[in-house]
Structure 1
Amino acid sequence: MIAALRRPQDVRGLSLKGLHLIMAMRVCAMFEASGRDPVPDLAQRYRSVEAACAVHGLVQTIKQVWPEPFMVNRPCCLAITPDEATLANLGRAAVSAHRDLFSAAIAGFVRADRHEALYNATIHAVALIP
């Protein structure tokens, strides 16, 4: 598993929803670094304020429950960080409503008492992403 995380994955291999989740994290990190609110940009991207708020809510939840700073690449980068790869796996499990697969993807990394909040935020975000 560790060796697999060391090999950089490519964003072109993700599903569209997975790509949206990764890019949203990158956009939010970029906006946070500049001191700006990412919701207007996300709303324009998704053509939905509700979707933008759901995705931003997921980002905020990740910041609260992740055991260390969530590492993202620049928006133009094709490589995926290990954190982004984990988020793509969480998104895939949420899209299929496979709760056990979701928990297995973060077992031993994110405390078990934080799984529910992360699962709910992920389900909400993937449901509203076009």
Structure 2
Amino acid sequence: MTQHRTPTARTQSLIAQLAQPVRLDALGPLAARFVYALRLIAAHERVRRDPVPELTVRLGGVEIAAKALALSQAIAASWPENVHVSRFCCCHLTHDEATIGAMLDAVGEGDRDSFMHSLVGLVRPERIERLWDAGLALFSAEIRSA
């Protein structure tokens, strides 16, 4: 005989929040630019093309393009599964993009605690430092080019 518990109000609220996709405009500018770059990188990988030339044009410099690509590779190496991205034109974020956006918003604010909190339980602790460093490198390149 199966017994079903009625979900609590907190559980129902959490499920409702997960069902509502995060919008791209909820992210800060650094995080939003990187999400677009990540989508562009994914599109280029699907057709087996080098994303750096187009990233350079769209992001405004080869250093930013290289740092964005390096961060995407660090994320791919650290993530527990393939990173899911939305289509390039979509204004809603996947759960992976929302997590990456929160991670980069924390980098932009210099808030290491929020950065760690956004990845707890998802990325192994020994891999988090690499993501922080790659995020800082991208943020620094963005600031230098401004």
The alignment's TM-score, normalised by the length of structure 1, stands at: 0.94
2:7 corresponds to: none
Q: What whole-Å deviation, never above 9, does each CA across 1:95-129 have from its counterpart, x for those lacking one?
A: 11111111111001100000000111111112223
Of the two, which has the highest radius of gyration? 2
Say which structure, 1 or 2, has more relative contact order (CA 8 Å, 6+ apart). Answer: 1
Q: What whole-Å deviation, never above 9, does each CA across 1:15-48 have from its counterpart, x for those lacking one?
A: 2211101101100000000100111111111221
Give the distance between the partners of 1:61 and 1:83, measured in 2 at CA.
14
Letter in 2 for 1:61: A
SS of residue in 2 equivalent to 1:80? coil
Structure 2 residue ranges without an equivalent (≥5)? 1-13
**How far is the alpha carbon of 1:2 from its aligned partner?**
5.4
1:106 maps onto 2:119 in alignment: yes
Give the distance between the partners of 1:12 and 1:44, measured in 2 at CA.
22
Runs of 4+ aligned residues of structure 1 deviating over 4 Å after TM superposition are: none
Structure 1 residue ranges without an equivalent (≥5)? none
1:18 to 31, 34, 42: 31
Q: What whole-Å deviation, never above 9, does each CA across 1:61-87 have from its counterpart, x for those lacking one?
A: 011000011000010011100000001
Letter in 2 for 1:105: S
How many positions carry a matched residue from both structures?
130
Letter in 2 for 1:28: I
1:30 corresponds to: 43
The alignment's TM-score, normalised by the length of structure 2, stands at: 0.84
CA RMSD of aligned residues (A): 1.3
1:83 maps onto 2:111 in alignment: no
SS of residue in 1 equivalent to 2:66? helix
- Asked if the contact 2:116/2:128 (under 8 Å) is kept, the reply is yes
2:72 corresponds to: 59
